[in-house]
Amino acid sequence: MQDKGPFRVHISTQEFPERKRLEMWREVYGRAIANVDIEPIGDPPFHANVTFDLLPNVSIAAGSRSPAHYHASKELVARGKNIVVISLLRSGTASATQFGRELIDGVGSASVLAPYVPSSSTMLTEGSFITLALAQPAIAALAPRYPDAFGRTIPRDNAALALLARYVDMVRNDVEETDPALRRRISDHIVDLAALALGASGDYAEIARQRSATAARLAAIKSDILHALGRSDLSTEMIALRHGISPRYVRKLFEQSGSSFSDFVLTERLARAQRMLTDKRCAHLNIAQIAHESGFGDVSYFHRVFRRRFGATPSDLREMARPSWLAQE
């Protein structure tokens, strides 16, 4: 969990000889990484894959598995590290127990595992997951009573957990950045949101909310906007409904960041149009089609704002890009 070394590691049973996949996965993942024994369920060939993103105070493991039992015995947990483990079920059907309690309440819920106590986790069907290993000192600084959460479930309707899941989904594409400051910010946000999900309260919760919850919510909103840029009904009302907040609060979040909802949407739509105009794969689309694909309902308006932003018409920009297309042939 240090700010050094490789930042992303991917392992998969596909990388192992077919006849040795289970044996090698048990050693490489089960014993060397997760401290668990692995017992497949049923006759289908066993398979699994995990991508690890390593940050200061945070390790993110995201992957998928075929049905299997994962047992952390007394012998194995004796190797446990000074961490807090939050495991979030993303798809499939699974169960997990620790201290004699069932820890999973369906997709979207999370289990909180004490690393020094035996536990059992079972993927009953094909499924995917995200597991966070968080440095205990970092969590303790914001949620001093974090041990109360060990062996318990964080329900899927926990607002901080939902925000944490969205944020992790978004930033996993950025954690390979070499900028240590960026990795530190991402790590701080994850720790803050995890502390809130674990029950941070009072001044501790206020610190976490002020430092990260607002930033993470805005990041989640921006991500949703990017996925909806081509929709004609994209509005603060639509985004607010998706996030369970008011349109006024959506506008306030952008204002606090020194921008506005409409400016962000316009900038990103123009950026999408620019990418499409210079992409050979979009050469079959005419200018009007690219404008509509980018979310502009009025082509005349698109031409005006495009020229104002880039100092050239859409047609001019496409013509300038053509020589590079020819060079690629």
Is 238 a member of any domain?
no
Are 20 and 139 found together in one domain? yes
Of the candidates 203, 227, 251, which is a domain's last residue? 227
- What's the alpha-carbon Rg for the chain, to the nearest Å? 23
DSSP helix/strand/coil, 197: helix
Structure tokens at 97: 């127990």
Q: What confidence score (pLDDT) does residue 238 get?
A: 93
Residue 103 lies in a domain: yes
Residue recorded with tokens 């900038």: 267
Which structural domain range is residue 12 located in?
8-227
pLDDT score for 79: 67
* Residue 258 is assigned to a structural domain of this protein: no
Query: Is 53 a domain residue?
Result: yes
Q: Within its chain, how far is the Cα of 81 from the centroid?
A: 24
Residue 200 sits in the same domain as residue 299: no
* Same domain flag for 77 and 198: yes
- 270 shares a domain with 218: no
CATH number at residue 318: 1.10.10.60
For tokens 């921006």, the residue is 222
pLDDT of 1 reads 44
Residue 27 carries which side chain, given as an amino acid letter? E
Q: What is the number of structural domains in the chain?
A: 2
Both tokens assigned to 159:
């607002």
**Domain endpoint, select from 180, 200, 227:** 227
Residue 182 lies in a domain: yes
Note the pLDDT of residue 176.
58
CATH of the domain at 54: 2.60.120.10
**243 part of a folded domain:** no
pLDDT in tens, the chain (329 residues): 444 444 788 999 999 998 899 999 999 999 888 889 999 998 888 999 999 998 899 999 999 999 999 998 887 676 667 889 999 999 999 999 999 999 999 999 999 998 888 999 999 999 999 999 999 999 999 999 999 999 999 999 998 999 899 889 888 766 555 577 778 888 899 999 999 999 888 888 888 887 777 888 888 888 889 889 998 889 999 999 988 889 999 999 899 888 899 999 999 999 999 999 999 899 899 999 999 999 999 999 999 999 999 999 999 998 888 877 766 65
d(CA 179, CA 165): 23
Question: What's the pLDDT score for residue 203?
Answer: 84
- Which of 201, 227, 253 is at the close of a domain? 227
> Do 79 and 32 have their domain in common?
yes
| Whole-number pLDDT of residue 4 | 47
Domain-located, residue 232: no
In a shared domain, residues 152 and 295: no
Please tell me whether residues 279 and 218 are part of one structural domain. Answer: no
Please indicate, yes or no, whether residues 23 and 171 belong to a single structural domain of this protein.
yes
Look at residue 232 in the predicted model and tell me its pLDDT. Answer: 84
Query: Whole-prediction pTM value?
Result: 0.75
Residue 77 is assigned to a structural domain of this protein:
yes
Residue in the structure block whose two tokens are 């050469």: 283
pLDDT of the residue at 115? 82
HSE (side-chain half, CA atoms, 13 Å) at 39: 8
